[in-house]
């Protein structure tokens, strides 16, 4: 977790460098640039962070050597990331999927600028190893991108649509739509970065920088109106005149504070965010500054949550083993999370219900009624399949068990579980969205849709692949 280690190192540097400051004190300009560089790196805006550090070097002041080291560290990280991504793409083109997967995993572990791209590429390789084609991967990424965009997760949406554009030919039917989504997601992702940076500068009392970031957030192309409103509210809180920064002289930190910082660093590397936050509170009780540590905790937790969220979107919901592995990962995250604990619990509940549904289907294994013999198998109309799915979604939304049974085959145990599920879902709404055009082969069909609880905005969407069979000329859902 390179970015986390860096953030903690910055916090420790600020606490333990008092002897150096007692000899020579950095100028206020150096301190301001240092703060901006640190926050930009935490936001993964490495090019801008390097520019701030270079400005420190050009001042030839006390922090010049420190800034030179940071520039070299960031450039090395970015070069390593670029090299691994390039090798991963070459390996994938050569069908050396094991090597490609290893390269992408190493990029993910760097937690640098292209982490989301690496996650999407890693997931694509996994699908290829399971037999999926580029077209199938692109279709799934398109659906995932739309879901992420609608949830305001613009960086993740951009990564998904970039994968679509990489893996589809120029005449792919939805390519123009994917290009538009990628453009809009890219603009709004930058808007989110500016807003987050403005918040960070505001919290650090760097009000001039906060105003500039807020201005860029508001003036973004095709902005998210909600983010514009939030940015305007932040601007209203910025004092009209900058508040003088505190004196750069640092009090001699107690040995206990240094020990707590080292403990916090170890906990963050292990993903124990609650434990690290406890150490931050202890540091503050000793009159130490834990601001950089708290920021590192927030960044590390959010990064891990987004990784798990992306894994969920790309997981095969019909694969019980994959779901179980993901459930364990979310459970571990939930135990250690701070701000994302409630969100991770919802994922745990969602995945547990999906695993239970798979187990129930396999246990009952109902035998569908045989279709009467026919001399010619009629051609299937995807619209007929979609109509059945729509009727099913409406019946679930209305809590209508009879309506569900009219379009879905249920064994005795399945019927009881469905009745219980309908009661539990009452008032929460239900809909199928972003459905992929059904694939029909003779008297069988498959269709994938996002499952959305429309009355529960905090519940993340699921994804389900429906299997259908045509019986006596009518389509019925069998799983």
User: Residue 451: helix, strand or coil by DSSP?
Assistant: strand
pLDDT tens by residue, 141-151: 898 889 888 88
385-438: pLDDT as tens digits: 887 888 888 888 778 887 787 788 776 667 777 887 887 777 677 788 777 778
Q: Domain boundaries in the chain?
A: 2-298, 382-477
Q: What are phi and psi of 32, to 5 degrees?
A: -65, -45
* Cα distances (angstroms) measured from residue 29 to each of 3, 20, 55, 99, 249: 25, 18, 10, 46, 14
Q: Assign 193 to helix, strand or coil.
A: helix
- Alpha helices per DSSP H over 337-443: 341-364, 382-398, 401-407, 412-424
Q: What distance in Å separates the CA atoms of residue 336 and residue 50, rounded to the nearest whole number?
A: 32
Give me the residue label for tokens 């109902």: 366
pLDDT number for residue 448: 83
Q: Is the pLDDT of residue 371 over 50?
A: no
Task: Please say whether the structural domain 382-477 has been given the CATH code 3.10.450.50.
Answer: yes
In degrees, rounded to 5, the angle at the alpha carbon of residue 205 between the alpha carbons of residues 200 and 208 is 85
Question: What per-residue confidence (pLDDT) applies to 13?
Answer: 46
Whether residue 191 contacts residue 220, with contact meaning beta carbons closer than 8 Å, is answered with yes
What is the per-residue pLDDT for 289? Answer: 76
Q: Has residue 7 got a pLDDT over 50?
A: no
Full-prediction pTM beyond 0.75?
no
pLDDT confidence band for 53 (50 / 70 / 90): very high
CA distance 254 to 205: 25
Mean pLDDT of 340-347: 84
Q: How confident is the model at residue 10, as a pLDDT?
A: 47
How do beta strands 439-441 and 431-433 pair?
A: unpaired
Average pLDDT over residues 283-291: 78
Structure confidence at residue 363 (pLDDT): 65
What is residue 301's predicted lDDT score, i.e. its pLDDT?
82
Contact predicate 280/296, CB 8 Å = no
Model confidence at 292: pLDDT above 70: yes
pLDDT of residue 415: 75
- Local structure of residue 408 (DSSP, 8 states): B
HSE-CB of 319 using CA atoms within 13 angstroms: 11
Residues above pLDDT 70, as percent of the chain: 84
**Percentage with pLDDT > 90 across the chain:** 7
- Report d(CA 66, CA 77) in Å as an integer: 17
Structure tokens at 82: 């670029």
Backbone φ and ψ of 379, nearest 5°: -70, 145
């Amino acid at each position: 977790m390179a970015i986390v280690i860096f953030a903690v190192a910055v916090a420790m540097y600020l606490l333990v460098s008092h002897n150096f400051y007692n000899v020579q004190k950095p100028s206020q300009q150096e301190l301001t640039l240092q703060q901006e560089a640190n926050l930009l790196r935490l936001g993964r805006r490495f090019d801008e962070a390097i520019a701030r550090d270079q400005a420190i070097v050009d001042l030839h002041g006390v922090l010049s050597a420190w800034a030179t080291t940071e520039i070299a560290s960031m450039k090395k990280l970015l070069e390593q990331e670029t090299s691994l991504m390039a090798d991963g793409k070459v390996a994938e083109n050569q069908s050396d999927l094991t090597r490609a997967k290893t390269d992408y995993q190493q990029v993910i572990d760097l937690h640098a600028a292209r982490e989301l791209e690496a996650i999407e590429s890693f997931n694509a390789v996994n699908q290829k190893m399971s037999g999926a084609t580029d077209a199938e991967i692109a279709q799934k990424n398109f659906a995932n991108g739309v879901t992420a965009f609608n949830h305001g997760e613009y960086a993740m949406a951009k990564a998904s649509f970039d994968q679509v554009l990489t893996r589809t030919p120029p005449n792919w039917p939805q390519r123009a739509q994917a290009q538009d989504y990628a453009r809009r997601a890219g603009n709004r992702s930058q808007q989110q970065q500016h807003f987050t940076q403005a918040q960070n500068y505001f919290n650090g009392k760097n009000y001039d920088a906060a105003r500039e970031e807020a201005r860029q957030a508001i003036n973004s192309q095709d902005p998210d109106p909600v983010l514009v409103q939030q940015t305007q509210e932040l601007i209203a809180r910025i004092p009209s005149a900058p508040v003088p920064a505190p004196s750069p002289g640092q009090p001699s930190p107690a040995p206990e504070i240094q020990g707590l910082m080292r403990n916090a660093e170890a906990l963050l590397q292990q993903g124990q965010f609650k434990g690290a936050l406890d150490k931050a509170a202890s540091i503050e009780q000793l009159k130490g500054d834990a601001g950089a540590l708290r920021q590192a905790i927030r960044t590390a937790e959010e990064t891990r949550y987004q990784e798990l969220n992306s894994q969920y979107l790309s997981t095969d919901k019909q694969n019980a083993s994959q779901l179980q592995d993901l459930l364990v990962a979310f459970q571990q995250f939930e135990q250690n999370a701070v701000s994302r604990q409630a969100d991770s619990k919802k994922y745990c509940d969602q995945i547990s219900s999906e695993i239970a549904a798979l187990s129930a289907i396999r246990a009952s294994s109902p035998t569908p009624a045989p279709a009467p013999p026919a001399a010619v198998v009629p051609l299937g109309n995807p619209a007929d399949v979609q109509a059945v799915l729509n009727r099913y979604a409406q019946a679930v939304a209305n809590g209508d068990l009879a309506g569900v049974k009219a379009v879905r085959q249920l064994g005795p145990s399945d019927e009881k579980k469905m009745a219980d599920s309908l009661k539990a879902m009452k008032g929460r709404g239900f809909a199928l969205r972003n459905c992929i055009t059904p694939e029909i082969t003779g008297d069988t069909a498959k269709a994938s849709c996002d499952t959305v609880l429309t009355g529960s905005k905090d519940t993340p969407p699921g994804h389900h692949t429906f299997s259908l069979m045509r019986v006596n000329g009518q389509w019925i859902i069998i799983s």
